[in-house]
Chains A and B, each alone.
Chain A
């Protein structure tokens, strides 16, 4: 039996106002290349001990997860699947620096215990007493899609009915300068580095009724392609992947309202999107999201959330369009999400409105 798969709800903490969709109408803009997320007042949500004990990435992941579980009424998801490019960077740095500074004899375990990537997914599981499937994907700019694909496959083949999918990355000042030096992050306000914490609750048709909220959107397909180190654009395999995705979703390219891309203001990155889009999606309206959320390995998680929000609210705000002359668009049926990382990894996600 073919199952429909939905994003039931999503909550984010990023460089935009936390836990709300204010970026739709009142996007915050920045003038610096390195911006950290706007943290809510955690004291309002957690015990003082928790606020003190947990690192930033963990607090953000825990709060967005709790909120999305509360909002959907799904307190015990069948699977908790996390994507994170760099994991608990801050704690890793603290432990490594103590090791290099103080030597190998006086180390305390606190930072080490919170340094592994799967600390995030485990924390959520411990907090919610979830004994179900729990996994963590750690693959650079496609960590979020890897997590999403795992959930999507299991939902589709009936192994699970609900999945909490998270995309989480923090960025420390040191790591920022290093990633800037090797060209992954930019040095202008148009190519700024952000931080990502977004939790999405996914479910199949059967849980639709359990969810007390209107659904955000439907996920009609997830595709991933690795092409390895190369200079030419892999247009042929990308075309094959696109055709396959649309066929599976029984959707034509004409029905796609817009393509959302990961343009981030860095010429080497943006040029790949421009050329691929010109070849694969000529004349389609292009949307962006990194001008709002900044760059981070799991920023695509925020992109998917942004696209889902547009489908839910039936509105694409003018500021999302790559073409600055475009006006706000009402009525949105399908958004194709296209992400690539260093021209080595390419992913597509097809998101559709739940409305008729």
Chain B
């Protein structure tokens, strides 16, 4: 398969409002999971990974007037997209360059809908939030803030939404429909899905423990993350047109991707991890890589009984005896659902760029069903600060069995 240049990345989550803060938190093993502070819910027993900003503070950062109608989902999206575009030096419109925005979300404007729902019955005072309820609205609010996009789409495949957005981005470039694609996802916490996950009894009252024998569920999180994808040809053209850009270098490559379906259950994964197995296998084939060439797996690793077992077995099926260092960074960010694939793409890229393996926090007891344990600081063998990473696999699995695997690679590998 051809590969795609990643020339910008932006991220906001519980561990930081940009890439630098995210990197520091990962390297210093500081989790962002904390007691509830921003979301108005009675479920204060659940720790969450909240973005440590109010909507008003985000609007101020973005220079958006207080009177403007926005949603938390779209504000986080704008912050992450802005960082990605600034890095790729694409913040202004570019002649003869088609730029697409592909965003994954499921919550959309539900953060406002659940607050104003009863007002909708009473009078028309909150009608502006009827129009921002659907998922597409959040993407258009982001697009209109920048005004540079000529193709805009929204994907919702639950917790694999952002990974599918990145995959579609590559497909659009491959098909010549876009020169540059900003792809990822955004999702704010809501009472709606916090209660939904609680009704499924898969929320942990403690910080989550992915791949631990005593794991007791996930912590929900929120955030947004996007990457800028472009073809090598487009990037070279941009350099020619604007030589001042020269310090700009691609951060990494997207070298493989695959989307599959577990086709087992709406809210549970199969015991043999068939969907996950197929996604990883197909992504490896697409990238023309053998399993041994993967140096790090950023697992979906939600911390639920079901996911970690199913994904762990799938990883064993793909990698056999030689399982690369594997961690779930949801122990830092919480499970940011539709944004997770974007967050973990950016984290994978940071790992490649700065050559380190993010740790799997809160792990103490290996799962008896698995032959491997997640990567923690106590691991010997590989120096976490110089593991010489070349290829990273990032897994995203969602409700309904929607699973997507992405492979990111270092630049010099393809040169």
Contact = CB atoms under 8 A, between A and B. Distances in A.
Interface residues of B, number: 68
Contact of A139 (B117, B139, B150): B139
Given A150-B168, A182-B131, A134 B259 contact: yes
B158 interface: yes
Contacts of A96: 113-114, 117, 192
Interface stretch (A98-106, A186-194, A268-276): A98-106
Interface string A127-138: 011111111111
Contacts, number: 196
Contacts of A97: 117
A133 B195 contact: no
Given A109-B199, A134-B261, A181 B127 contact: yes
A243 to B, nearest CB: 15
B223 interface: no
Given A122-B399, A126-B401, A117 B156 contact: yes
B217 interface: no
A259 to B, nearest CB: 22
A114 B399 CA distance: 10
B11 interface: no
B303 to A, nearest CB: 18
Interface string B130-165: 110011110110011001011111111110000010
Contacts of A314: none
Contact of A225 (B121, B135, B140, B150): B150
Interface string A83-125: 0011100001001110110011101110011111111011101
B242 interface: no
Contacts of B275: 131
B136 A109 contact: no
Contacts of A140: 134, 136-137, 140
Interface string B254-273: 00000111111111000000
Contacts of A108: 199
Contacts of B379: none
B49 interface: no
A145 to B, nearest CB: 9
B171 A150 contact: yes
Contacts of A154: 171
A128 B401 CA distance: 13
A135 B151 contact: no
Nearest to A228: B144
Contact of B150 (A116, A117, A226): A226
A178 interface: yes
Q: How large is the interface on A (under 10, 10 to 19, 20 to 34, 35 or more residues)?
A: 35 or more
Interface in A26-52: none
Contact of B156 (A103, A116, A182, A228): A116
Given A107-B199, A118-B399, A113 B267 contact: yes
A113 B158 CA distance: 11
B175 interface: yes
B261 A116 contact: no
Contacts of B308: none
Interface string B27-50: 000000000000001110000000
Nearest to A114: B266
Interface in A191-235: 224-229
A86 B134 CA distance: 6
A157 interface: yes
A237 interface: yes
Interface of B: 41-43, 101, 105-106, 108, 113-114, 117-118, 120-121, 124, 127, 130-131, 134-137, 139-140, 143-144, 147, 149-158, 164, 168, 171-172, 174-175, 177, 191-193, 195-196, 198-200, 259-267, 274-275, 278, 398-402
17 contacts: A95-B196, A99-B195, A104-B198, A107-B199, A116-B399, A119-B266, A121-B157, A122-B266, A134-B402, A138-B154, A142-B153, A150-B171, A157-B174, A178-B130, A181-B124, A224-B151, A228-B143
